[in-house]
Structure 1
């Protein structure tokens, strides 16, 4: 497995990974929510971050990571690639190579919350709505040792 900078021609496959991941973990989102996010992911969110893919030897994307400054803006894994240490690989890369020290997590996503807590993050603040004003509470987390 290798972590490489994403290219725009990776975006379609990244969107597939994003949608599979969201459907497996973001049970609080409606079908309408997911469909409304998809074009925004492609046109606004992916181009706005330093974006990296976790690829296997055949260049299949198993997960991806996006950061802005010291914040992890997105970290998603294909559900079939979970439990193999790939999330840890991406997170370690974000912390060590990109100086990431904070992440925002949907409060209604207990698996992600548990993952980040296990990796040394603590909740520093809570917002009752997400960045788009939708009623999905966000937990603002930071590395505990910083």
Structure 2
């Protein structure tokens, strides 16, 4: 059977949602179908924000796979086309494009668990889905490319300057469309200049530059706060996104938290930031909302997320 795998276009949405609803109801007989029906409109909106690959058979959409950064949000095949290799073709293409992928799958969905294990996904942890009360597995596929973490200290004057340049560039790209250039430039001055970073290092921040074979691709920073580890910075260059690096970076942060004796990690994320969905997929839970005055008439309007190790 000849498969054509292509990028999603908005005109596909109706066919994709039909497949999504039918496939979920069939695979999750242990969850009332009303649950999927109630989430139909929400998912249809979220699909428009995701990276989606569509599989066509004889010019008909037979299945699709959706990703948000390095999180595999779902793999769905039209019921009458299941068992014909469509899901395998989609998953292999997703793994080809991503260095790493993680996903959540219900424990009772045994066929899916076996399928993902067959193609290299490893069970990392399990927890309870708050909405359904069902046990979910977190599974992860990891590529083999090396990712290095270089700690930046006050003594590394040149690297602090390079960190400031990278941070300012990435934050400018991410937040200008979100909060406006005026507020973003003000915040970059407060938090990402060389003097600002040096001041943070003097006050207990730990900074790491993230590197792959091409050089510096991102950075992260954290420090102890309120008996937990506060993840203050977690960024990647646009050219490095979609390679599975975010999951590996967070694994590194979790390791450092455990080494320091912390069982919880928390962070702030702007309410307009699509990364909120990525943090949720990583296992963060909403702790609270807060709005902080940062001066000059500007506010940080955030969600606060908590991760329990």
Would the TM-score normalized by the shorter structure come out above 0.5? yes
- Could you tell me how far apart the structure 1 residues matched to 2:132 and 2:90 are? 27
Give the structure with the higher percent strand: 2
What residue in structure 2 maps to residue 134 of structure 1? 132
Q: Which runs of 5+ in 1 are unaligned?
A: none
Deviation at 1:98, TM superposition (A): 3.4
TM-score when normalising by structure 2: 0.44
Corresponding position of 2:172: none
Q: Any residues of structure 2 matched to 1:1-146 within 5 Å, and which?
A: 1-43=3-45, 45-58=46-59, 60-129=60-129, 133-143=131-141
User: Which of the pair has the greater relative contact order for Cα pairs under 8 Å at 6+ separation?
Assistant: 1
Q: Count residues with an aligned counterpart.
A: 142
Distance 1:100 1:76 in 2: 20
Structure with max Cα Rg = 2
Answer whether contact 1:107 1:138 (CA < 8 A) is retained: yes
SS of 1:12's equivalent in the other structure is helix
Q: Is the 8 A contact 1:72 1:100 kept in 2?
A: no
Q: What displacement does 1:33 show?
A: 0.6
How far off is 1:127 after superposition? Answer: 1.7
Secondary structure at the aligned position of 1:48 is classed as coil
8 A contact 2:100–2:140 mirrored in 1: no
- Give how far 1:18 is off: 0.8
Flag structure 2 segments of 5+ consecutive residues without an equivalent. Answer: 145-309
Q: List structure 1 segments (4+ residues) > 2 angstroms apart after TM superposition.
A: 98-101, 143-146
**Shift of the alpha carbon at 1:95?**
0.4
Q: Secondary structure at the match of 2:48?
A: helix
CA RMSD, 1 decimal = 1.7
Structure 1 CA distance for aligned equivalents of residues 100 and 31 of structure 2: 27
